[in-house]
Structure 1
Amino acid sequence: MLTEKRIEIGFLLFDGFPMACLTSLIEPLRAANEIAGQGAFCWSLITERGQKVRSSAEVRFEAERSLSECQPIDILFLLSSPTSGFADPGYGNGVLRSLARHGTILGGISGGVFPLVRSGVMTGHPVSVHWCYEAAFEAEFPEMDARCEVIVTDATRYTAAGAAAAFDLALHLIEDRLGGDVAHEVACWFQHPMMRGKGVRQQVPSTSSPDTGDRLPPLVARCVDLFASHISEPISIADVAQQTGVTPRQIERAFKQATGRSPSHYYRAMRMKAARQMVVYTKDPLADIALAIGYGSVAPLVTHYRSAFGLSPSEDRRRTNRFRVEGNTPLPSI
């Protein structure tokens, strides 16, 4: 159990942060205070210099204090897009490291894990990474223990993938501080059907046709798992067949029936989705992106990318830049 004192939470906001993640954390805490009849939680909005920021929905928020005014604070969550960063990285990252040394729990929600990891405070800590950012995160932080669970926490670090996961994380904070009955009532207030915990994997959209549903047949699902683990070093359908104990022809038939695609086209679509994450959410050169998804040169990447998305990677990156908000932050944020 956390101590009985009021828990002070700071939300460090960067331009382009996902507004839903902020409200998904604050609203259950507010409701818990009302239900319990006490101010168990308090919170404040923080920016690097105390400046105003804009969410990914272009809604402006006014900070209550600057990063230099964060001490003492119990928990600090970073909310941002993947490309967000401090105007003065040396100072901002130094403050986060100082807060960590003095006992502040640090966390990141959705894209907020990117500046959190860049600060150096996540060494040795696992991280929840939203599936939409998985390839970009792996490209920038190959040494990190990135996980697909909706919530990943340890004693001093809290990370969550997206707004619904942030709500779940808030419910866990409420349960720890005020008990399960209050957490359950808060969930009922918002018609939140269940409180997900550690170990629950994210729901990820498949590349199958809309009428196939979310559940793939066991053979196809096993093949997809093998494809997903071989994005940078492609695996042949023959090798997949050998590892699953069937023939390539059986895999072809299973994919056609379940997805309407051949396994090779399904696999290519997965690799193109990974490529697009890196195109949109990193500044990596196209040659590096091509290598990251298993191509020896840029030419086949451009060909397959255009076939998948209707424009080249460079055109897609330029188009995304036109919709970026101040501070070079991409939209949308999750």
Structure 2
Amino acid sequence: MTKQHFVFTLIENHTHLTLSCATEPLRIANMISGETLYSWSYASQNGETARASNDTISLVQHGFDTVPRCDRLFVIPGLDMDKHITPGLLACLRRAKRDGVRVAALCSGAWILAEAGFLSGMRAAIHWEYHDAFLERFPDVELVPSVFVADEKHMTASGGTATADLMLHLIEQDHGYDLSIAVSDMMVYVGAREGSAAQRISLQARSGMRNPHMAKAIRIMQDALEDPITPTQIADQIGISVRQLERLFGRYFNTSPKRYYTELRLDRARHLLLQTEMSISEVAIASGFQSVGHFSRLYRKAFDTSPSAQRGRMV
């Protein structure tokens, strides 16, 4: 089996949860397989230690100027990542890219890759907290609300448990579905998400979200997943025009109310398929789709698999 070495560049004040979710699936994959499929090391600005936002201090093996050749290099920042973008860090990333290393970013790391000029014209994921600022700062990057993006030159994940989703995806890609499921089971991690799954975030936080119209619109949608209503009805309940509702969803989510509503219903359907014994037709109805055929077409388009295949992957 192919062995790979990953380097994690730990930015000061990085998110420790993201680091754990990145390395633990790799460790478990090694343990279950009985082989060293993955090895990894850490790099930081001073080449000695890196402090996480929870004050955990990690010992590192490399400075940014001494990162060795590796198969993948992951950037892991956290809060205030823009304050820690140093010339040494950017030089490290550009050198790795020039050497053919696959450079990726976790949590708020997409901001750093975009600052380095890596993401122009590409799709990228970043933690929801940075969506609005990122859209303003990097209009040439196609920011998506997904948990991760794995089908671009530079992978990006939105942080936290989305990092585990990405690592399970890589393990499946490298060593097969069975090993990825065994790792997920060992982590007691049920229903790992595909990259296209939307980030699940609190109503208050989403969209700067203290926008009362947006909060109410999403709450109305969530309360009517089984019997969906129209954007006109939603706008009427909120007391705004349909045009204003469209503008709000375009501004905060870069999508339409109808599409966002459909994504919520498809997300519900996926959870039902993964977590219940309901038939596909029952799942379709419970998610607001009266036609199983229509539901199946939308589901395949959203998740790149059919409802029946999704159910089969549970076995």
TM-score bracket, normalised by the shorter chain, equals 0.5 to 0.7
Q: Distance in 1 between matches of 2:130 and 2:223?
A: 23
Q: What amino acid is the match of 1:40?
A: L
**Equivalent position of 2:222 in the other structure:** 215
Q: Which moved more, 1:109-118 or 1:25-34?
A: 109-118
Q: 2:184 aligns with which of 184, 187, 202?
A: 187
| TM-score, length-scaled by structure 2 | 0.66
C-alpha distance 155-103 of structure 1, shift in aligned 2 (>3 A)? farther
Q: 2:30 aligns with which of 20, 28, 33?
A: 33
1:38-53 equivalence runs, <5 A: 38-53=35-50
Q: Distance in 2 between matches of 1:136 and 1:161?
A: 15
The structural deviation recorded for 1:27 is: 0.6
Conserved 8 A contact 1:48-1:92: yes
- Structure 2 residue runs of 5 or longer lacking an equivalent are 205-214, 253-315
Q: Distance in 2 between matches of 1:25 and 1:172?
A: 12
Q: Distance in 1 between matches of 2:154 and 2:86?
A: 20
1:246-257 equivalence runs, <5 A: 251-252=235-236, 254-255=237-238
C-alpha distance 46-145 of structure 1, shift in aligned 2 (>3 A)? same
Conserved 8 A contact 1:150-1:165: yes
Matched, 1:84 2:81: yes
How many residues in Structure 1 have an aligned counterpart in Structure 2?
234
The structural deviation recorded for 1:40 is: 0.3
Matched, 1:61 2:68: no
Q: Distance in 1 between matches of 2:86 and 2:17?
A: 26
Greater RCO, CA 8 A, separation 6+: 1
Q: Distance in 2 between matches of 1:216 and 1:131?
A: 22
C-alpha distance 263-110 of structure 1, shift in aligned 2 (>3 A)? farther
**Equivalent position of 1:286 in the other structure:** none
Conserved 8 A contact 2:150-2:195: yes
Q: Which moved more, 1:184-193 or 1:47-56?
A: 47-56
**Equivalent position of 2:131 in the other structure:** 134
Conserved 8 A contact 1:100-1:121: no
Q: Which moved more, 1:15-24 or 1:43-52?
A: 43-52
Q: 1:152 aligns with which of 125, 149, 153?
A: 149
The structural deviation recorded for 1:101 is: 2.1
**Equivalent position of 1:167 in the other structure:** 164
- Structure 1 residue runs of 5 or longer lacking an equivalent are 224-243, 256-261, 275-334
Conserved 8 A contact 2:7-2:73: yes
**Equivalent position of 2:69 in the other structure:** 72
Q: 1:177 aligns with which of 171, 174, 178?
A: 174
CA RMSD between the two structures: 3.0
Q: Distance in 1 between matches of 2:85 and 2:195?
A: 34
Q: 2:119 aligns with which of 95, 117, 122?
A: 122
**Equivalent position of 1:239 in the other structure:** none
The structural deviation recorded for 1:85 is: 4.8
**Equivalent position of 2:278 in the other structure:** none
Q: Distance in 2 between matches of 1:214 and 1:56?
A: 35
C-alpha distance 87-192 of structure 1, shift in aligned 2 (>3 A)? closer
**Equivalent position of 1:236 in the other structure:** none
**Equivalent position of 2:15 in the other structure:** 18
Q: Which moved more, 1:199-208 or 1:75-84?
A: 199-208
**Is the partner of 1:45 in helix, strand or coil?**
strand
Moved over 4 A (4+): 85-88
